[in-house]
């Protein structure tokens, strides 16, 4: 009886594991160099093409290009009267309001009259690099309908689930800008230290977790009083964050270690670390919280990880330098942005 039970367990494990694979179903190319790709929740996918293309390209679930949105704006049209003429941004990341009405796009830097000291990847607040702007894009008209001045080299963007705030990490000013969606203005900037990047907000809109890449730590920002606590010693150079739907576990890519950390938020302790590939950068969690999908920048692969035991279930090759990733829960599809100029879609 015992042997039969063991055989049954092994059979189930083999059968289940064989159903964990995910497969490439589409390659999207064109005039793109995507730093990120993000799903709106309503069937639109925004790819941010940095200063290499100066565009945001928008796709539908049928992989069609819906629109190419240039990053050129006239800042004066949005109330910034000290800036004359037109300006180009450099779209980095996008976050959507939770009904998908607006996309909020960070711009690495601005190009045009008055911007003479652009930020870069190795910078400090002492450099006094140019500030940059967050764009608001209406997802119905697919046009830029507002811009908000933030810090220098804004990178990651996150929207609170209650849609009250947009959080933007500023790489060169070492702070996070908090935008009120009620008036589209920065209401507070909070200093965090060297190179803040990834952000995730819990489901109750009470805490924002922010990865600070120049450290081993993750900031915990209390949204009710704007006070900051810390999860210390997570690992070297935390970059990207995901949180499970129940707010129990936080997941962080560790840029300096090449690993993924799983953190129990009840104890604020790391409970697991795994290696997926060389230089894991961005990742996305499935809507049910069961899987992580991780792009491995220097391995040119994407990995599927089971969150329960942090086991790597599958790995697939990608185009050169996969850097961004998003998930469509309706189609169970994973979209991967590669710097080589390709978006790859995998069916899970």
> Which numeric CATH code is attached to 23-347?
2.130.10.10
C-alpha distance from residue 39 to each of 45, 48, 94, 142 (Å): 5, 12, 9, 14
Instruction: Give the span between the Cα atoms of 336 and 27, in whole angstroms.
Output: 10
pTM: 0.94
pLDDT band at 4 (very low <50, low <70, confident <90, very high): low
pLDDT (tens digit per residue) in 71-94 = 999 999 999 999 999 999 999 999
Buried b / exposed e over 38-63, threshold 16 CB at 10 Å, is: bbbbeebbbbbbbbebbbbbbbeeee
What does the mean pLDDT of the chain come to?
Answer: 94
Contact 105, 55 (CB under 8 A): no
C-alpha 128: how far from its chain's center? 26
Nearest by Cα to 328 from 40, 103, 92: 40
Residue 234 reports pLDDT greater than 50: yes
Residue 29 reports pLDDT greater than 60: yes
* 181, 92, 137, 135: CA torsion to nearest 10: 60
pLDDT (tens digit per residue) in 117-145 = 999 999 999 999 999 999 999 999 999 99
Average pLDDT over residues 221-230: 98
pLDDT (tens digit per residue) in 148-201 = 999 999 999 999 999 999 999 999 999 999 999 999 999 999 999 999 999 999
pLDDT band at 20 (very low <50, low <70, confident <90, very high): low
pLDDT score of 22: 87
């Amino acid at each position: 009886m015992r042997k039969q039970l063991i055989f049954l367990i092994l059979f189930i494990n083999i059968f289940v594991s064989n159903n964990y694979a995910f497969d490439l179903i589409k390659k999207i190319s064109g005039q793109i160099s995507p730093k990120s790709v993000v799903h709106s929740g309503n069937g639109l996918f925004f790819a941010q093409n940095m200063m290499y293309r100066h565009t945001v390209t928008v796709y539908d679930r049928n992989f069609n290009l819906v629109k190419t949105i240039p990053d050129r704006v006239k800042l004066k049209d949005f109330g910034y009267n000290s800036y004359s003429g037109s300006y180009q941004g450099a779209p980095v990341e996008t976050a959507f309001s939770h009904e998908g009405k607006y996309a909020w796009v960070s711009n690495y830097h601005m190009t045009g009259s008055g911007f003479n000291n652009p930020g870069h990847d190795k910078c400090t607040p002492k450099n006094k690099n140019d500030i940059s702007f967050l764009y608001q894009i209406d997802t119905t008209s697919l046009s830029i309908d507002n811009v908000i001045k933030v810090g220098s080299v804004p990178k990651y963007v996150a929207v609170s689930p209650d849609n009250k705030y947009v959080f933007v990490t500023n790489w060169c000013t070492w702070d996070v800008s908090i935008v009120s969606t009620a008036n589209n203005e920065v209401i507070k900037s909070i200093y965090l230290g060297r190179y803040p990047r990834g952000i995730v907000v819990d489901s109750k809109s009470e805490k924002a977790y922010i990865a600070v890449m120049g450290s081993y730590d993750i900031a915990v920002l209390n949204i009710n009083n704007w006070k900051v606590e810390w999860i210390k010693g997570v690992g070297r150079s935390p970059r990207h964050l995901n949180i499970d739907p129940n707010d129990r576990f936080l997941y962080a890519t560790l840029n300096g270690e090449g690993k993924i950390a799983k953190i129990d938020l009840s104890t604020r302790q790391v409970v697991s670390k795994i290696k997926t590939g060389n230089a894991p950068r961005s990742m996305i969690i499935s809507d049910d919280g069961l899987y992580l999908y991780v792009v491995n920048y220097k391995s040119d692969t994407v990995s599927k990880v089971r969150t329960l035991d942090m086991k790597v279930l599958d790995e697939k090759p990608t185009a050169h330098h996969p850097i961004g990733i998003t998930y469509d829960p309706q189609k169970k599809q994973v979209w991967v942005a590669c710097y080589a100029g390709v978006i790859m879609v995998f069916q899970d």
